[in-house]
Amino acid sequence: MIAETLQFLIKTLADLFVLVLLLRFYLQVARAPFKHPLSQFVMAVSNFAVLPMRKLVPSVHGYDTATLLLALLVGLFSNVLMLALNPLPYSFAAPETWLGLLCLSLLDVFRQSLYLLMGAVIVQAILSWVNPYNPLTPILDALTRPFLRPFRRAVIGGVDLSPLILFLIIQVILMLPVRALESVFLMQLKVAL
Question: For residue 101, what are the domain limits?
Answer: 2-191
Domains held by the chain: number: 1
* Whole-angstrom distance, CA of residue 190 vs CA of residue 182: 12
* Residue 146 contacts residue 170 (beta carbons within 8 Å): no
* Residue 24 contacts residue 46 (beta carbons within 8 Å): yes
Q: What pLDDT digit, counting tens, does each position of 74-124 carry?
A: 999 999 998 888 776 666 777 778 888 899 999 999 999 999 999 999 999
Q: What angle do CA 30, 26, 13 make, to 5 degrees?
A: 155
* Whole-angstrom distance, CA of residue 141 vs CA of residue 192: 44
pLDDT of residue 99: 86
Residues in the chain: 193
Low-confidence ranges of the chain (pLDDT < 50): 193
| pTM of this structure | 0.88
* Whole-angstrom distance, CA of residue 182 vs CA of residue 60: 28
pLDDT of residue 193: 44
pLDDT of residue 10: 94
